[in-house]
């Protein structure tokens, strides 16, 4: 198998960069000039190219549209203090893409091909990486089936693509969330740990019900008892209970977030006690009642660190204390930002220069 493919580059003749208002970026609405694509056919990846971002033709019978053979990643590139650009833990996203691919009977992609497509795309669209504090270039790698065949079996052909979006903050104020104890996002033994498209489609309806009630997001609970915290939307959930950092342990029903992993590493660096274990909604609400729920927040690439201000539980809302600069969520957000912008020491070797 050939690992390094020559990438054919067709630069755009009409950059859209000047049309974008970098002071008012809405998440996911502005797309950079180019996209990377490579096709899997006859058992190998071929035809790697970078072309202007735009629509493309696919078979109406492809198995991504009908049976959900579609997976994705979400990662970011950051403008560095010295003017350069760096990616945050890209190999973690590459590894997770491949683990999602295996779960969905899709082909894996080599580290070389992933990193080569990614770096060449970002170099070409380097001017799209914002430099204002809190802003970054969101990167969306994804793969889908391309066979024109309507039977239920894994496709023989696939396309892997990457496009990017300059973005600001995902949530701009503290969140109102509620425990979901009826609907289920994923079950033990299911595909909740994979970033496959179907997980998100099925979560939209229960999320919309909660949004109609004035919440931003749900906190999913486990499928069998509806008691144990899973995660929140596209974020992992972290609580600070009586000074300890507590988060649900990973399982086949929880997505193994790169932000979660990073926040836990920084918590340990700060000398805090970290507990990865089962966390019940009852434990969280009892801690709240006793004044011991110091903080709750969601963590994810898009949302970064999103503090939770209110938690709905069994029909009532409970407020969390306001956080100040000494709160763990604030300190860890600042530490992560410093690493991502090159202003702080990258002691874990997380950043990869483009
Ligand atoms: C992507 C995602 C996360 C966060 O993962 P990161 O790697 O931190 O971005 C958490 N939960 C779900 C369901 C997700 O899709």
Low-confidence stretches of the chain (pLDDT < 70) are 1-4
- pLDDT tens digits, one per residue of 286-321: 999 999 999 999 999 998 999 999 999 999 999 999
DSSP tag of 53: S
Q: Do the beta carbons of residue 237 and residue 259 sit within 8 Å?
A: no
Q: Do the beta carbons of residue 68 and residue 144 sit within 8 Å?
A: no
The number of the ligand 1 atom at minimal distance from the alpha carbon of 261 is 8
Integer-rounded Cα radius of gyration of the chain? 21
Q: Name every protein residue with a CB atom under 6 angstroms from any ligand 1 atom.
A: 74, 195, 231, 234-236, 255, 257-260, 300-301
Q: Looking at domain 175-340, which of 3.30.1490.190, 3.20.10.10, 3.40.47.10, 3.40.50.300 is its CATH number?
A: 3.20.10.10
pLDDT for res 3: 56
* Range 8-167 has CATH code 3.50.50.60: no
pLDDT for res 32: 98
pLDDT for res 172: 78
CA distance 95 to 193: 13
Token pair belonging to 188 = 């033990």
pLDDT for res 39: 98
| Distance from Cα 257 to the centre of ligand 1, integer Å | 5
Residue 279 burial (CB < 10 Å; 0-12/13-18/19+)? buried
Q: Do the beta carbons of residue 308 and residue 177 sit within 8 Å?
A: yes
The reply to whether domains 8-167 and 175-340 share a CATH topology is no
Domain ranges of the chain: 8-167, 175-340
Token pair belonging to 268 = 């340990």
Ligand 1 pocket mutation pick from 92, 94, 257 by most atoms within 8 angstroms of CB: 257
| Distance from Cα 19 to the centre of ligand 1, integer Å | 30
pLDDT for res 178: 98
- pLDDT tens digits, one per residue of 234-261: 999 999 999 999 999 999 999 999 999 9
């Amino acid at each position: 198998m050939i690992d390094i493919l020559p990438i054919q580059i067709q630069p755009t003749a009409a950059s859209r960069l000047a049309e974008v208002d970098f002071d008012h970026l809405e998440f996911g609405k502005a797309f950079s000039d180019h996209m990377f694509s490579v096709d899997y056919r006859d058992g190998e990846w071929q035809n790697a190219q970078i072309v202007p971002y735009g629509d493309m033709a696919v078979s109406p019978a492809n198995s991504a549209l009908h049976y959900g053979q579609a997976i994705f990643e979400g990662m970011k590139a950051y403008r560095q203090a010295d003017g350069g650009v760096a990616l945050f833990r890209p190999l973690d996203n590459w590894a997770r893409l491949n683990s999602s691919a295996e779960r969905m009977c899709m082909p894996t992609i080599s580290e070389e091909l992933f990193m080569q497509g990614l770096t060449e795309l970002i170099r070409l669209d380097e001017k799209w990486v914002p430099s204002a504090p809190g802003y970054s270039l969101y990167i969306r790698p994804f793969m889908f089936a391309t066979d024109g065949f309507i039977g239920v079996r894994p496709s023989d052909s696939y396309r892997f693509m990457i496009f990017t979006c300059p973005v600001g903050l995902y949530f701009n104020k503290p969140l109102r969330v509620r425990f979901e104890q009826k609907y289920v996002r994923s079950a033990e033994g299911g595909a909740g740990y994979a970033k496959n498209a179907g997980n998100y489609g099925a979560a939209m309806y229960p999320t919309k019900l909660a949004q109609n009630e004035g919440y931003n997001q749900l906190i999913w609970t486990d499928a069998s008892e509806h008691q144990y915290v899973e995660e929140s939307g596209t974020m992992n959930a972290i609580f600070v209970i009586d000074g300890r950092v507590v988060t649900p342990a990973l399982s086949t029903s929880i997505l193994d977030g790169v932000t979660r992993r990073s926040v836990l590493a920084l918590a340990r660096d700060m000398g805090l006690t970290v507990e990865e274990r089962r966390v019940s909604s009852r434990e969280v609400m009892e801690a709240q009642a006793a004044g011991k729920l110091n903080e709750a927040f969601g963590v994810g690439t898009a949302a970064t660190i999103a503090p939770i201000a209110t938690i709905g539980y069994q029909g009532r809302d409970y407020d969390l204390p306001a956080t100040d600069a000494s709160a763990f969520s604030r300190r860890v957000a600042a530490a992560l930002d410093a690493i991502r912008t090159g202003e702080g020491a990258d002691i874990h070797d997380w950043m990869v220069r483009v």
